[in-house]
Amino acid sequence: MNFETLRVRQEEGVVFADIAAQPMNLLGPELVGDLVSLIQQTEADSALHVLVFASADPDYFISHADVTRLGNNGEQAAKLTGEPSLGILFRRLSTSRLVTIAQIEGRVRGAGSEFVLGCDMRFAARESAMFGQPEQGLGLIPGAGGIQNLTRLMGRARALEVMLSAEDYDAELAERYGWINRALPASTLGAFVRSLAHRIAGFPADARVSLKDRVNAIALASAEDFRRDTELFRECARNPEAQSRIQSAMARGLQTREAEMDLGLMLRQLEEKPTSKLEWKLLTKRRASSTRGVPPGREALAWVTNTVTLIYGQRDAILVDTLLTEQESKELLDWVVESGKHLTTIYITHAHGDHYFGLKHLLDKFPNAKAIATASVVAAIQNQIKPEFLHSFWEPRYPGQLPSQLIAPEVLEGDTFYLEGEELKVVELGHTDTAHATALYVPSIGLVVSGDCVYNNTHLYLAECGEEARNEWLRALDKIESLHPNVVIAGHGVLNPDSSPRHIAETRLYLRDFIASLASTSTAIELYEMMLSLYPHRINPGSLWAAAKASKPPESADRLKETQLA
Ligand SMILES: [Zn+2]
pLDDT digits (tens, 9 = 90+) for 201-250: 999 999 999 999 999 999 999 999 999 999 999 999 999 889 989 988 98
Average pLDDT over residues 430-441: 97
Average pLDDT over residues 532-555: 91
Ligand 1 centroid from CA 307, angstroms: 9
E strands, 394-446, in order = 410-411, 416-419, 422-430, 437-442
Q: From CA 44, how far away is CA 47, in angstroms rounded? A: 9
Ligand 1 centroid from CA 533, angstroms: 24
Q: From CA 193, how far away is CA 483, in angstroms rounded? A: 58
Range in 51-55, 288-292, 411-415, 435-439 with the lowest mean pLDDT: 288-292
Range list for CATH 3.90.226.10 in the chain: 6-271
Average pLDDT over residues 493-520: 95
For 540-549, give one letter per residue: b (16+ CB within 10 A) or e.
bbbbbbbbbb
Task: Give the model's pLDDT for residue 450.
Answer: 98
Binning pLDDT at 50, 70 and 90, where does residue 273 land?
A: low
> What dihedral do alpha carbons 433, 494, 480, 289 form, nearest 10°?
10
Ligand 1 centroid from CA 473, angstroms: 14
Ligand 1 centroid from CA 303, angstroms: 13
Task: Examine the pLDDT at 155 and tell me if it is beyond 80.
Answer: yes
Ligand 1 centroid from CA 119, angstroms: 72
Ligand 1 centroid from CA 491, angstroms: 6
Helix (H) or strand (E) holding 363: helix 359-365
For residue range 451-504, what is the model confidence (pLDDT) as tens digits? Answer: 999 999 999 999 999 999 999 999 999 999 999 999 999 999 999 999 999 999
For residue range 325-372, what is the model confidence (pLDDT) as tens digits? Answer: 999 999 999 999 999 999 999 999 999 999 999 999 999 999 999 999
Angle (nearest 5°) at CA 296 between 292 and 301:
75
Which of 3.40.50.2300, 3.90.226.10, 3.40.720.10, 3.30.200.20 is the CATH number of 6-271?
3.90.226.10
Ligand 1 centroid from CA 566, angstroms: 5
Instruction: Check: CB of residue 9 under 8 Å from CB of residue 15.
Output: yes
Task: Examine the pLDDT at 558 and tell me if it is beyond 80.
Answer: no
For residue range 22-44, what is the model confidence (pLDDT) as tens digits? Answer: 999 999 999 999 999 999 999 99
Average pLDDT, the chain: 94
Nearest of 118, 191, 193, 122 to residue 149 by alpha carbon: 118
Which of 3.60.15.10, 3.40.980.10, 1.10.10.60, 2.60.40.3470 is the CATH number of 279-562?
3.60.15.10
Greater pLDDT, 461 or 561: 461
Ligand 1 centroid from CA 384, angstroms: 14
Task: Give the model's pLDDT for residue 566.
Answer: 45
Which residues place a Cβ less than 5 A from the ion ligand 1? 352, 354, 452, 566
CA distances from 358 to 84, 315, 351, 363 (A): 70, 23, 13, 9
Task: Give the model's pLDDT for residue 557.
Answer: 43
10 Å CB burial of residue 251 (0-12, 13-18, 19+) is exposed
Binning pLDDT at 50, 70 and 90, where does residue 274 land?
A: low
Task: Examine the pLDDT at 556 and tell me if it is beyond 50.
Answer: no
E strands, 482-563, in order = 487-489
Q: From CA 162, how far away is CA 151, in angstroms rounded? A: 10
Residue 23: asked if its preceding bond is cis (omega within 30°), the reply is yes
Q: From CA 564, how far away is CA 434, in angstroms rounded? A: 8
Range list for CATH 3.60.15.10 in the chain: 279-562
Strands 279-288 and 303-312 come out as antiparallel
Phi-psi region for residue 40, left (φ > 0), alpha (ψ -120 to 50) or beta? alpha
Task: Examine the pLDDT at 272 and tell me if it is beyond 50.
Answer: yes
Ligand 1 centroid from CA 397, angstroms: 15
**Dihedral of CA 530/534/540/544: which sign?**
negative
Binning pLDDT at 50, 70 and 90, where does residue 276 land?
A: low
CA distances from 101 to 9, 15, 159, 247 (A): 15, 10, 22, 34
Q: From CA 107, how far away is CA 78, in angstroms rounded? A: 26
Q: pTM of this prediction?
A: 0.54
Phi-psi region for residue 413, left (φ > 0), alpha (ψ -120 to 50) or beta? beta
Nearest of 457, 437, 484, 451 to residue 307 by alpha carbon: 451
10 Å CB burial of residue 273 (0-12, 13-18, 19+) is exposed
Percentage of the chain surpassing pLDDT 90? Answer: 87
Task: Give the model's pLDDT for residue 564.
Answer: 46
